[in-house]
Amino acid sequence: MGPKPLYHPENLSPAYELRYSWTGWPTRGGLPPEGVGVLERLNAAWEDNGLRRLEQRWAEDRVQITFSTKTHVSPVFLASRAKGRLQHELRKSGLTFAGFSRKVAVRTLGHNRREHVEAYIASQVDRERFCDPSFEALIREFTVVCPDVDLSQPTETAHGRYWYNVHIVLVTAERHRVVDRRRLTVLRDTSLAIAEKKGYGISRLSVMPDHLHTALRGNLEHSPLDIALAFQNNLAYALGQLRIWADTFYTGTFGEYDMGAVRGSES
């Protein structure tokens, strides 16, 4: 039996801003025109699942819904609840509808686009403006850029395409500063190992003295909460079960489009 996790969902107070666009297509024919009323009847059920409908674009050939979510919602869960509840409600309403195609599209969104998030994480050392040039040179070793991980590309499955990009920030307890090379190396190298083991694709990673940033492609079955806990608990274990992190984290979604662009159009 492995060590008990130090961090648990019920003890955390995360900050988050999670936005997803879900797109579904009818198997044949078109969607009925009365869709907005159907969506309104689903609001309460979706909220019970941790999804809040923000807006929609309803056309004959497709429906696109933008959701905000709680941290426990994974892309696979979102796709299941969005499609399943909507399909059931359309049929229950007596509307002529053949059903949705097995193929869907789920896309993470944010107020900042991918290139801005990646640039922000890569520039953490420059933003800090350390007084000691030798320490600045040291801490630069712990910013990682992975050009082989292209977050603009979707994850393809038998059920559709998913763009699942998440920004995670961990903060040390009481802003304790990690300044020695050994522990900084452990945090950097273990973060990369966690991603490989869990099926995440890290695009950018910055280990700073009192916080850690990463931009990554998540495992579709893992929620942002799952991802943050994986880093918190495994990094704590790598440092000797040291309770290094505060009982919080930040997580936000981002992608190729910001919210303004999606409100205008989406492909």
Q: What is the CATH number of the domain that holds 228?
A: 3.30.70.1290
- Dihedral angle computed from the Cα positions of residues 4, 72, 124 and 134, in that order, rounded to the nearest 10 degrees: 0
**pLDDT for residue 266:** 44
Q: What is the mean pLDDT of residues 216-234?
A: 98
Q: Summarize pLDDT for 11-62 with one digit per residue, the tens.
A: 999 999 999 999 999 988 888 886 778 899 999 999 999 999 999 999 989 9
Residue 6 lies in a domain: no
Q: Which domain holds residue 70?
A: 16-109+259-264
Residue 52 lies in a domain: yes
Strands (E), 27-99: 51-58, 63-69
**pLDDT for residue 262:** 67
Q: What is the mean pLDDT of residues 210-238?
A: 98
Provide the whole-model pTM.
0.94
Domain count, the chain: 2
- Which of 88-92, 156-160, 242-246 has the least mean pLDDT? 88-92
Residue 1 lies in a domain: no
Residue 236 lies in a domain: yes
Q: Under DSSP, is residue 16 helix (H, G, I), strand (E, B) or coil?
A: strand
Q: Summarize pLDDT for 163-222 with one digit per residue, the tens.
A: 999 999 999 999 999 999 999 999 999 999 999 999 999 999 999 999 999 999 999 999
CA distances from 190 to 142, 220, 254 (A): 12, 21, 24
**pLDDT for residue 267:** 40
Percent of the chain with pLDDT over 70: 96
Q: Inter-axis angle of helices 35-48 and 75-92, to 10 degrees? A: 130
